[in-house]
Structure 1
Amino acid sequence: MYIAPPGHDSLPAELLKIDDDELFVLGHLHTILVKVWNGGDVPREWKDATIKVLYKKGDRSNCNNYKGISLLFHVGKVPIKIITNRPSAFCEANNILPEEQCGFRSGRSTVDMLFVVCRLQELGRRKKRPLYMCFVDLNKAYDSVDREMLWKVLARAGIPAKLIEVMRQFYDGMRARVRMDDGELSDWFFVTQGVRQGCVNVVQDLLRRGPRGRCHPIQRG
């Protein structure tokens, strides 16, 4: 059985799964989350992360040959999951997402897109027209998200201002520190760019569309 490693608080995830204490723990967690939703501050511990550095391969002096795993406060993962799922539900209920987006949506998967690709190939052959495809894998996509742009795109999509403000609260003042192989810890530093893995999956298409209004055509001649 896989046991998720604890964050800097040393509390295991199993704390939230114990039957005897479930109502007690989740009851207090619900009280805190309601206060946050009503305008209170997000606890500092929910924002902080300890990054464990793992060597992959190659030259050990090259930082690109390492990857970091963020160890988070497990109790804080629950409200973060709840809050970040709200935009998904809102987008689905209000038909905001484009029909061609199948990733990270309930009842849809890559199988739908594979069907579309196969169908396009069939139509291309039938009409004897060339078909071109472009596959893009964004490098460090989550780490490079401009948060201010994210809030603007969400607002433009019609996401309630209250929800955007709560999401912003979870990221304002976010800190991290690095734990080396020998257990030594770095000083805390602020993380001002990027979002956590999976946080904005459902609105990624909106993010790609967001900056288009700022683009200018290339002048020729």
Structure 2
Amino acid sequence: MKNKTSTDWNDIDMKTLKCVIEGIVKPLTHICNLSFPKGFFPNRMKVARVIPIYKTGDKHHFTNHRPVSILSRFFKILEKLFVKRFDNFVDQYELLTESQYGFRNHRSTVQALIDLIEEITECIDKKKHAIGLFLDLKKAFDTVNHDILLRKMEKYGFRGIVLDWIKSYLSNRQQFVQINQHNNKFVLFADDPNVFCSGVELQQVLDVVTQEIKTF
């Protein structure tokens, strides 16, 4: 994992974590080893700090900022371990088509273009028509419905405790926004497809949101 200096909500960065890893490797390994067989992703690792990064245009318009979500460094470690197991399972049972290039080891968009050119060239040589359909989803990851995703994963063989772990990984996510080193006073609970607001100390939701709107 890269030595990024950006800090999570615990003010821990990956570079610092690597410096002290020998002192925490045993308890961290214990947590990871408990997580998988129990089918549970620790909720404390799901808190994200969201920082708006200015893109172009009017700086005072929120649509001209790109939200960057900084997750717990421990979250990234546990996630990395799962991805390794996930990839092994997918490769072992050949669940993905050879035509998929994104998010796969040893594949790239360059290879996708090479294969596309070969397909078109072959069609031209055989005096056939080549038709291409190119689609682009705006905010693609935000459009993923978790219920549909989980049903598909179950169909592909992810069941039992593994599926429970994935459900836990996707649910009870929390995030807060940081602007100019100031954090908002309420946390967003983003469970697909709804977003809920809750005070840090469990105050009345509407009171907290109303006050934040007045002072933000």
> TM exceeds 0.5?
yes
List aligned pairs for 1:110-121, cutoff 5 A: 110-121=109-120
CA distance in 2: counterparts of 1:104 and 1:185, whole angstroms: 34
Amino acid at match of 2:136: D
Amino acid at match of 2:53: L
CA distance in 1: counterparts of 2:11 and 2:45, whole angstroms: 13
Task: Look up the match of 1:96.
Answer: 95
CA distance in 2: counterparts of 1:50 and 1:59, whole angstroms: 23
Provide closer, same or farther for how the CA distance between residues 63 and 166 of structure 1 changes in structure 2, counting only shifts above 3 A: same
Task: Look up the match of 2:163.
Answer: 164
Q: Percent identity?
A: 22
The 8 Å contact of residues 176 and 186 in structure 2, kept in 1 or not, is answered as yes
SS in 2 for 1:143: helix
Provide closer, same or farther for how the CA distance between residues 182 and 134 of structure 1 changes in structure 2, counting only shifts above 3 A: same
What residue ranges of structure 2 are gaps of 5+ in the alignment? Answer: 194-216
The 8 Å contact of residues 49 and 175 in structure 1, kept in 2 or not, is answered as yes
| Structure 1 consecutive aligned stretches of length 4 or more whose deviation exceeds 6 Å | none
Aligned length: 192
Task: Look up the match of 1:152.
Answer: 151
Amino acid at match of 1:117: L
CA distance in 1: counterparts of 2:22 and 2:159, whole angstroms: 30
Q: For each residue in 1:62-90, what CA deviation from the matched residue of structure 2 results, as whole angstroms up to 9, or x when unmatched?
A: 43211111122112210022123322221
Provide closer, same or farther for how the CA distance between residues 22 and 133 of structure 1 changes in structure 2, counting only shifts above 3 A: same
Q: For each residue in 1:142-174, what CA deviation from the matched residue of structure 2 results, as whole angstroms up to 9, or x when unmatched?
A: 122111111111000112432221121122211
SS in 1 for 2:70: strand
Tell me, yes or no, if structure 1 residue 106 matches structure 2 residue 85: no
CA distance in 2: counterparts of 1:13 and 1:28, whole angstroms: 17
The 8 Å contact of residues 48 and 73 in structure 1, kept in 2 or not, is answered as yes
Task: Look up the match of 2:15.
Answer: 14
The 8 Å contact of residues 87 and 159 in structure 1, kept in 2 or not, is answered as no
CA distance in 2: counterparts of 1:193 and 1:86, whole angstroms: 25
Task: Look up the match of 1:37.
Answer: 36
Higher strand proportion (structure 1 or 2): 2
The 8 Å contact of residues 38 and 161 in structure 2, kept in 1 or not, is answered as no
Task: Look up the match of 1:78.
Answer: 77
Deviation at 1:130, TM superposition (A): 2.6
TM-score, with structure 1 as normaliser: 0.77
Amino acid at match of 1:37: F
Of 4-13 and 119-128, more deviation after overlay is shown by 119-128
Deviation at 1:51, TM superposition (A): 0.4
TM-score, with structure 2 as normaliser: 0.79
Of structures 1 and 2, the one with the larger relative CO (CA 8 A, separation 6+) is 1
CA distance in 2: counterparts of 1:144 and 1:90, whole angstroms: 25
List aligned pairs for 1:139-218, cutoff 5 A: 139-181=138-180, 183-193=182-192
Deviation at 1:61, TM superposition (A): 4.6
CA distance in 1: counterparts of 2:3 and 2:81, whole angstroms: 23
CA distance in 1: counterparts of 2:80 and 2:64, whole angstroms: 30
List aligned pairs for 1:46-85, cutoff 5 A: 46-85=45-84
Backbone CA RMSD of aligned residues: 2.2
Tell me, yes or no, if structure 1 residue 132 matches structure 2 residue 135: no
Provide closer, same or farther for how the CA distance between residues 6 and 130 of structure 1 changes in structure 2, counting only shifts above 3 A: same
Deviation at 1:43, TM superposition (A): 2.8
Provide closer, same or farther for how the CA distance between residues 42 and 59 of structure 1 changes in structure 2, counting only shifts above 3 A: same
Amino acid at match of 1:11: I
CA distance in 2: counterparts of 1:40 and 1:160, whole angstroms: 11
CA distance in 1: counterparts of 2:190 and 2:83, whole angstroms: 18
Task: Look up the match of 1:198.
Answer: none
Deviation at 1:115, TM superposition (A): 2.3
